[in-house]
Amino acid sequence: MLEKMSFNSNLINWFDKNKRELPWRKSNDPYKIWLSEIILQQTQVKQGLPYYNKFLENYPTVYELARSNEDEVLKNWQGLGYYSRARNLHSTAKYIVRELNGVFPKKHIDLIKLKGVGDYTASAIASICFDESVAVLDGNVFRVLSRYFGIEIPVNSTQGIKHFKNLAKSLLPKKRIGDYNQAVMEFGALQCKPKSPNCRICPINVNCVAFTTKNTENLPIKIKRSKIKDRYFNFLVFLTKKSETVIEKRNTKGIWQQLYQFPLVETEFSVSKKKLMSHKKDLQKYNLINPEIELINKNEIVHKLSHQKLHIKFWKLTQKVKHDNTIYWNDLKKYPVPSPIAEFIRSYKP
């Protein structure tokens, strides 16, 4: 018991002296905390901070976010990836305004029912905003606890999640619960880093099992996930004499859902122009019969996702277009598009 009290009190003391000055830490407004936590899922603070500021500028309260349209929200999210977060953000904002009169739930049990809010996010909001005695568990917390207590159960296993959840709950202090939860996350982000942590100046290294047994680099233990899948995307970039092009919306589930893209022909492997032309069924959807096609990017673009590696080619087609989704090239910037397409549009001069 004394060791656990020492653990949380030491981390809170460390947090008071070393915490980063972040804008969402100046408030206990659940809207701001919720927004920051959704943005920081799968995203580092350095990358997420400009998006947090942009969203607050465009949507200062949940009411403005709820009134916006999905394309606008996705456009503001562009570049952050994991776009389901943005769709859930927008959907939850509308639900809170319409069903809860703009008031966020105060209890973990109710927060976790919100779309896009899992156990971690619900715990963060409940403890930081309402001082509820619930523990957070994210990658940083798993790492700190597994090293300090020398736990070799895989953190992404059913047994591991249950074990760490119970341990994290037992470590909660009686006061300053929100600060403690932020402290253990911040400690993992700044001090107990994944690679090459500076254990010699760690304020809790005396009782850290991983440090005393020289096992820091091997913890936490994770079960290896499934193999990365390779996919081959061929985007058809129409360019007419009137500077028109064609885009379409990805309505199917999966990556980039609800974002816009150039017409896509997906192949089983990287293809030449001749091989691409053989995909007649795909090309005929766009009234393409023996079209003039030219490869724009000589070197294939490789875009890595969590479980997929995309091999991307852009193909130029200069011909008259009859299509419902024809737009002017200069209007492309108005639409939310995936990062590799956004980069292509920025760099390509038709």
Angle value at C-alpha 75, between 69 and 80, nearest 5 degrees: 125
Helix (H, G, I), strand (E, B) or coil at 306: coil
Q: Give the position of tokens 């293809």.
A: 271
Q: What is the DSSP letter of 206?
A: G
User: Smallest Cα–Cα separation from 38: which of 3, 73, 1, 2?
Assistant: 73
| Residues in Cβ contact with 10 at an 8 Å cutoff, skipping those fewer than 6 apart | 203, 204
Q: Measure the CA angle with vertex 222, ends 216 and 227; round to 5°.
A: 135
Q: Which of 21, 37, 72, 217 is catalytic?
A: 37
Question: Residue 37 catalytic?
Answer: yes
SS3 313: strand
Calculate Rg over the CA atoms of the chain: 24
Q: Give the whole-angstrom CA distance, residue 57 versus residue 334.
A: 19
Q: Which residues are marked as active site? A: 37
